[in-house]
A and B are shown apart, each in its own frame.
Chain A
Amino acid sequence: MKFGDQLRFVRQNMKRNKTRLFMTVLATAMGCAFLTVLASVGFGLQQSMVEEITGDRLVTEITIYGKNPDKFDTQGIQNGDIDYFQSLPNVKAVTYRNYIQQYMDPSIDGNPVNVNQRIGMDFEAEKQAGFGLSAGRLPEGNNEIVIGYHIREVMDEEGRPSSELPAASEWVGETMTLQVSYYEDGELAKKPLETVIVGVAEQPTKEWNRDRNIYMGEEMLTQIEAITGTQLGELPYFEVAPTKEQVQKLIEQLPKPTGERQYQDVTVVAENASKVKGIAEKIREQGYFNHSIADELKQVNMLFTIMKIGLIFVGTIAVLIASIGIFNTMTMAVTERAQDIGIMKAIGAHPSVIRRVFLLESSLIGLFGAIIGTLVSYAISFAVNAGLPIMIEVLMEETLPADFKFSVIPPYLAALTCVIALGVALISGQRPARRATRIDVLSALRREV
């Protein structure tokens, strides 16, 4: 018997008792929806939690935060260390941040600009690591800088950012003046440094993260250091006006630009997430203290994997309960059609054909239920993600992060639900189908079944 004819048979049989079929499919759909929605909470919370942990960082990043004093003489990361990281296989880029140790009173057209950090960095490495810009380009010339996305943010009297944020991109092309302070003959002097804004960094993904920094290249840092005569433009601090000798003495103690540079916020960027573990282990063996998000995610993911398995298990129980309905429907169908089955067997229907027809029917019930259940699950998931934050805000007066998701249904969860529903439906149909093949021809013909 051809598959198309088996389907036609099943369709004819299904039409016989539409109400019962509808109720069975409904029960299966409810079971599947319960399973999917329940598991989707695990997926949703995991995604939100992981996003919370990773923040603006990339999963390919390995942060270097020092060296093992037992293996190295110095603890700071130096040129030789940067070269070593760059030489490692599967390393895409090595980035760092050098924080300039004076404010430099940034201003545009004589108007002061409120900045946070003044950072020197290797733009070539940043480009490879994926430094994001919301406008303009990365610096190419000596006196070019990039500004933070929130640099034009104005604070109110209580120190909170005002709701209006003028676009930083309007400043691209503007000249920003930096006043580099230095000591000359024991007197504090300032030398203006004209810089051109060529780009604006992209907005940090976390809304609480405000970027009001100035990013500059190595050349500009060198210029500043040449003016101050100290590394990172650092100047000694005096509570009262110092004497020339005092200034001279303290400046002598500060690291010179010609000395070995210490790099801050050193990050090794792997080519892809799968290489992170190998690189991290290798540099750890060499004596570099490091940390990657993969380390944090490992534990979080383990926790959520256990949670998701538990939720899927509980959800599967709902599908199993629905399977009682499928079993009942199929048993009734076999009883009702016993005479027809007997006639079919009498004229030469192979038992396997009869078995296949009934298994096909129960599978279709499971499949319809799974498809409807999955569609309903997506609708519920959407409604929960849209409605629950509003309810929490109204009832509990708490605000959730903008992109927080309670429920996420990845395609493979929907596929898994369909597979579970189909499997359960097939198992439920086994016994009735076997019973159908065992119907005695003579009893059926005599209408004794």
Chain B
Amino acid sequence: MITMMGISHQFKIGKKGKERIVPVLHDIDLSVEKGEIVAIVGRSGSGKSTLLNLMSGYIRPTAGEITVAGRMVTKLDEGAWADFRLAHYGFIFQNFQLISSMTAYENVELPLVLKGVGQSERRKRVEKMLENVDIAAFASHYPSELSGGQQQRVSVARSLVLEPPIVLADEPSGSLDSENEKSLLTMIKQLNHELGITFVIITHDDQVASVAHRTIRLQDGRLARQAPLVSVESIKETFDLAKGGHHS
């Protein structure tokens, strides 16, 4: 689903003329399969957020190529990237990133509005999505009137309302308490299983990483370990069994 080949990235810091180049990622090769949940872990400054930003198209790699859903995206211009993001990605952010002047309903509706979906179709899909994440009762609430867990549910609903094939999550449980974190992880597992959505999750939380089929560890901008402990299929089987009554 996502392939990164020879990806390097470096930042320029300091004032113009006295710039200093700071390398962040070095020659990364990785691929994420369709239907996988991949956790990217590492210490602060290891480059995991940069890796996710490269996948999202928010920044461009200094070197290397990125292919998403069979399309070379490295050289897309800003407008094309925007269209590509809308068509292929859902985003879950650490700080939820909801628009404060919009209600929960309007925040979830936003991707549909951007895509130009008609009003009746929008209403149907938003209401269904709010039901799915169990936040329908708070549809008319503004983000400031919602708890952290509720805001993250709205954020998840917004990321999935267009039914994207890939969801990129940056520290999704970073602002949540343990109970809300657990609930979010269950939701991710369910969505992955039921809809086959591919998840790439940036985290430094072991519990979050535990729901992943595969964990990629970054260390000083390099891949430290890429560990498909078991195959995706076998994980799915295990998940099915767990859903059938056993605790995984």
Give A contacts to B, CB under 8 Å.
Answer: 1-2, 5, 12-13, 16, 340, 343-353, 441-442, 445
Contacts and interface: CB of A to CB of B under 8 A. Distances in A.
Interface string B54-98: 001011000000000000000000110011111101010101011
B59 to A, nearest CB: 7
B83 A348 contact: yes
Contacts of B89: 348
B85 A347 contact: yes
A128 B53 CA distance: 85
Given A343-B98, A348-B89, 16 more contacts: A1-B115, A1-B116, A5-B113, A12-B101, A344-B114, A347-B114, A348-B82, A348-B83, A348-B84, A348-B86, A348-B87, A349-B86, A350-B83, A441-B58, A442-B53, A445-B95
B214 interface: no
Interface of A is mostly: helix
A347 B98 CA distance: 11
Contact of A1 (B102, B113, B158): B113
A346 B113 contact: no
A310 B238 CA distance: 83
Give the interface size class of chain B. Answer: 20 to 34
A352 B79 contact: yes
B79 A347 contact: no
Nearest to A337: B101
Q: Which 6 A-B pairs have the closest CB atoms?
A: A348-B86, A348-B85, A350-B82, A441-B58, A340-B99, A5-B113
B110 interface: yes
Most buried by B among A345, A347, A353: A347
Contacts of B115: 1, 348
B101 A2 contact: no
A346 B114 contact: no
10 contacts: A1-B113, A1-B115, A16-B101, A340-B101, A343-B98, A348-B82, A348-B84, A350-B86, A442-B59, A445-B95
A347 B58 contact: no
B165 interface: no
Given A343-B97, A442-B59, A349 B82 contact: yes
B114 A445 contact: no
Nearest to A8: B113
A69 to B, nearest CB: 80
